[in-house]
Amino acid sequence: MTRIALIALGLVSLAAGGTAMSSPDYANHFQSAPVHAGEVTASASSAFARQNDAKLKVKFDNRSDDFLVITKNGTRISSTAGEYVATNRDGFKVIDPTSDGSHTFVFEDGGGKLCTLSMVARLDGVFLASGQGEPVQAEPFTLPLSANKVEAGGFLCITKGKVKQETKEAKAKFECTYQGAEGTAGLLDSEAITVATPDGQAFANESGKPTKLLLPGEKASFEVKNTIIRPNPHDVDMQFTQLTLLWNDALRTVTMQPVAFPDWEFSLDVALTAEKNK
């Protein structure tokens, strides 16, 4: 008797008194070792298959200095039943540099053949995007506003709401949309923005946020804020001074690079399967 036949026979006896193997709710649960691609590790925190659907929850541990971009429906599984592509959602999940995150891939089969004894997963559609990128040269904004938008290098940035310009404080909100080509991403680093006075004095953005990655069509809002603390060593009155918002390297673009994982083999976890089907 083959090993697969022995496993199947064992499952029949374990399922007695629990969820019947013929039930659509019966699920085979799998085990696997993590797979690695450079500084990125993928591990399965949950993997199971029922007759009509399968789910694979993957934790991605990104130890690189780059952003990790995961296509939500890019992964596929194959088994004796055939090959299936994740169907749950379009779009992407982004994991920051030196961070981790999880995503659950869902697979469906109306023919009821997914509940097999093993499977192989292929993590397609995973990319790295450098956190550095190429700076985009964008025209400065002047306060009071002479224009309410700037377009440069795939970015469209517009002002949002009322610009505040008072004696001790200047504040403006912006929304940037990245409209670049597929396979590229925009990096928005509002910490890099400075505000300059006519005599060349530059003030840092007090409301700056860490770099955010934007995929084509995505947008993000941010604030630029400068406050004068008394006594004012620069003799600047924010209300009556023309201020110039300098983008510096706040807008950058990057081409995403594919991450090549090896084929990921999953085998039946007999004990967990029995436990989950009680």
pLDDT 10s digits, 64-75 = 999 999 999 999
Predicted confidence at residue 239, as pLDDT, reads 62
pLDDT 10s digits, 139-152 = 998 877 777 899 99
pLDDT at 12 over 60: no
d(CA 256, CA 75): 17
pLDDT 10s digits, 108-133 = 988 889 999 999 999 999 999 999 99
The pTM assigned to this predicted structure is 0.85
pLDDT at 1 over 50: no
Domains of the chain, with CATH numbers?
A: 3-125+259-276 (2.60.40), 134-254 (2.60.40)
pLDDT at 233 over 80: no
pLDDT 10s digits, 33-85 = 999 999 999 999 999 999 999 999 999 999 999 999 999 999 999 998 899 99
Give me the torsion for CA of 200, 204, 208, 212, rounded to 10°: 60
d(CA 163, CA 166): 10
Predicted confidence at residue 229, as pLDDT, reads 52
d(CA 244, CA 195): 5
Residue 183: CA atoms inside 13 Å, Cβ hemisphere, count? 3
Average pLDDT over residues 259-269: 97
What secondary structure does DSSP assign to 50-93, as a single string?
A: -SSEEEEEEEEEE-SSSEEEEETT--EEEETTEEEE--S--SEE
**pLDDT category of residue 8 using cuts at 50, 70 and 90:** very low
pLDDT 10s digits, 88-113 = 878 999 999 999 999 999 999 888 89
pLDDT 10s digits, 149-201 = 999 999 999 999 888 877 778 889 999 999 999 999 999 999 999 988 887 88
d(CA 184, CA 186): 7
pLDDT 10s digits, 204-228 = 999 999 999 999 999 999 999 987 6
Q: Do 197 and 249 touch, CB atoms closer than 8 A?
A: no
